[in-house]
Chain A
Amino acid sequence: MSTLELPGYRDQSPEVAARFERLRQRPVALEVRGLTKRFETPRGVVTALDDVSFQVHKRELMCVIGPSGCGKSTLVRILAGLETPSSGEVRVYGEPVSGPGSDRGMVFQGYTLFPWLSVKENVMFGPRMAGKSAFSAEREAREWIDLVGLSKFENAYPHQLSGGMKQRVAIARALANQPRVLFMDEPFGALDAQTRCKMQSYLLDIWKNVDITIVFITHDLDEAVFLSDRILVLDANPGRVHEVVEVPVPRPRSEAQLFDPTFMATRKHIDGIMHPPGSGQKETPVMRLAVSDPDVV
């Protein structure tokens, strides 16, 4: 179809290469070693994750992508401490993780805002749990709400907000706790395409201004390439690390880069991993029209 010659996805411009070099120098924020998760089901033991190991550096934005059923969500739930692995370990800045904690924030696909709390009170939740006074928690919350651009809505209740606004509140709420790593589990999956694009730009803006390491789960290829420094590509059944791709697209990112040759090359490479040619993807059957329509043909 396309005759355009794409550069290899490994061809990094000198600036990008230098940037990755600096990234590798930074301390390791999150280290995952030999993570395995098995589920007992009535039909036998299912291995969701098999010996997954990788590292995320400080202030890196890493996306985890893979076909459905590759254990992306299981992985992030283990990282957040909501589930325990069958074996392997997770370390945050060298400290092993056991159970959920306020050092790792989480943004869920389903928003999970507390419906009985206003936007401000939702954002205040973490600091209040940490024992901060209502006054200082409120002051902090205002700053975070301002950062995500929802100052006008600080007294609104979640049911009065749109999906994109809810997710911004959820991000502010997670950040207000000042976690060292932020996990995002397909946070924009429930949004419409246009809002999703906007939210991706928002996220990059926020990330630019906040010292935070982000692990972002997605199944959207464009989203992964657009956001990440590196992309962790998982295989399905069982979930294994296929490759860690360094995205050669220079920062700062903008929507214009969607047609950048480096962007397209990376996209094509990962698409090839996720949907290998001849992997049995059948041609979509087309409904035959009884009457041929000249305007369509």
Chain B
Amino acid sequence: MARPAFLKDWFRIRRELPQGRRVALTAVSFLLPLALWCVVSYVPWIWHPDVKIELSAEREGVTTVFTAGDHVSREFFPEFVEAVRTENKAVLAARAAGTPESGARRKNQKLLRQLAPVAVGHGWLGHDDAQNDAVLYHLWRDLATGTKTATKPALSEENLGIIRQNWAQLSAVSSDFSFRKLPDEPLLKIVPQGKPANPVYLPAPHEVVRAGMRDFRAEVPEGELTMGDRYRKSLRVIFLGFLWACVIGIPIGILCGVFDFFSKLFEPFVDFFRYMPAPTFSTLLVAVLLAGDAPKVALVFIGTVFQMILVVSKTTRLLDPSLLEAAQTLGAKPRQMITKVVIPGILPNLYNDLRILLGWAWTWLVIAELIGVKSGLTEFIETQGRFRNFDRVFPVIILIGVTGFVMDQFLSWLHGLLFPWAGNAGSFSRGIARCVTWPFRTAAAGIQARLSAAEASRVASARQESP
């Protein structure tokens, strides 16, 4: 039985796919999670365990008040609606029996404001002006007479009926708002309306994009930080911490890899120290280095440097010892063996180690920014997370991810340039690196073209002068 051609083309044991297919799959690997997110967000019958309230109502004798925008569980919402309907029925029954309640003027004023979300949604009222009763009063009129139609949110037939019934009572007394002229007996409440929604911690893609655009572009008052400032601050902390770790860690690591003396002197303690989680030193660091960036840089440093010593010494030890023997037979002295053989020999692997450790440093950064005075991108995430504004949190998390990823791919591309003799990175990495580094490569090619053009013109002019 022959395998179908499709299987033969795409699934081959331990064979690389052609370039085109590799690129396609790389794109799909990013699109797939995005598509999943879109499906969960936009297809209403998938998941959506909550109801997002669009029109709310206050209930008699219940202190919990939901306002428009709140989430309630899908199970509870019908209960909520039913309770309001029951209250309306009671009002109607009392009215029919001729014994309506009195003294409900204050309640009726609140009831009129039930339409505020509609007015704000359409821009008929500003956010800050949502309780402008005079305008809302006319909105009741317009909706009842059909001069205006609400679409954000659209009103149910039931609610339109209630609006008309209430307006009949209101208009009988006054055509303009006046607290004194509000009916004394209770009006009917608008029945809550809502739509299926995902929990607040999973905002839809468009909400995240919108919030991200708003936050990244936002002008802030003097003395506060823009997102760009926060980003720069975070980058500064991570690079300083990482730089210090390199300055201390690499030489010690190389010494440990070369001389058993240093290996036995440093590595046991380093090995022990790295098991003490860096964040546990946070209070100590703040006490010693005080507020500001210093303890944060120190935390990134502590988190990185011990791993670095061990990784670098291991990389150094992995250098082919026969290269050292060859150098010895060529007359290299110990110092020359380190500077001319060990260091150039381990450089490509060392570079890759640092790339991986830089990824680790990002993890420490997030923790570092939470200690002492919170700062940088993490402070924003922390603050907005507390207010449950997850649509504003996600763009920042994605920003950190993209920064790390782009940096890593850029460095991986640079590896090929710096160490052409060390073989290439994996093909996957190469594909992405090509995309990520496209602007850099274009710029480099441009500069090169300009240089060679200048060179050519110089040669040409020299030729003209010579005869």
Contact = CB atoms under 8 A, between A and B. Distances in A.
- Are A and B subunits of one complex? yes
Interface of A: 80-82, 100-102, 104-106, 108, 110, 112, 114-117, 125-126, 129-130, 157-159, 173-174, 177
Nearest to B347: A116
Interface of B: 320, 322-323, 325-333, 336, 340-341, 344-345, 347, 419-423
B330 A126 contact: yes
A102 B331 CA distance: 4
Contacts, number: 70
Given A114-B341, A129-B332, A129-B333, A106 B420 contact: no
Contact of A114 (B331, B333, B336, B345): B345
Given A106-B329, A108-B326, A174-B329, A159 B423 contact: yes
Nearest to B323: A112
A108 B330 contact: no
Max chain A C-beta neighbours (<10 A), residue from B320, B327, B328, B422: B328
B344 A114 contact: yes
Given A112-B323, A129-B333, A82 B328 contact: yes
A159 B421 contact: yes
Contacts of B332: 125, 129
9 contacts: A105-B330, A112-B322, A114-B326, A125-B340, A126-B330, A126-B331, A157-B420, A157-B421, A173-B330
Chain A binding surface SS class: loop
Contact of A100 (B328, B344, B423): B328
A82 B331 contact: no
A108 B323 CA distance: 10
B452 to A, nearest CB: 20
A100 B421 contact: no
Contacts of A101: 329, 331
B344 A177 contact: no
B467 to A, nearest CB: 34
Contacts of B323: 112, 114
Nearest to A115: B421
Chain B binding surface SS class: helix
A60 B329 CA distance: 20
Contacts of B345: 114-116
B340 A129 contact: yes
Given A108-B322, A129-B336, A129-B340, A116 B419 contact: yes
A174 B341 CA distance: 16
B68 to A, nearest CB: 67
Given A110-B322, A116-B421, A157-B421, A129 B329 contact: no
B352 to A, nearest CB: 15
Nearest to B330: A126
A100 B329 CA distance: 5
Nearest to B419: A116
B320 A112 contact: yes
A159 B419 CA distance: 12
A105 B326 CA distance: 9
A82 B333 contact: no
Contacts of B423: 159
Given A116-B344, A116-B347, A129-B330, 5 more contacts: A100-B325, A100-B329, A102-B329, A114-B341, A125-B327
The 8 A-B pairs at the shortest CB distance, nearest first, are namely A102-B331, A100-B328, A112-B326, A106-B329, A126-B330, A157-B421, A112-B322, A116-B344
Contacts of A108: 322, 325-326
Contacts of A105: 329-330
A112 B421 contact: no
A163 B292 CA distance: 59
Nearest to A158: B421
Contacts of B421: 115-116, 157-159
Max chain A C-beta neighbours (<10 A), residue from B322, B336, B345: B322
Nearest to A130: B331
Contacts of B422: 115-116
Contacts of B331: 100-102, 126, 129-130, 177
Contacts of B347: 116
B229 to A, nearest CB: 42
Contact of A82 (B320, B325, B330, B341): B325
B275 to A, nearest CB: 32
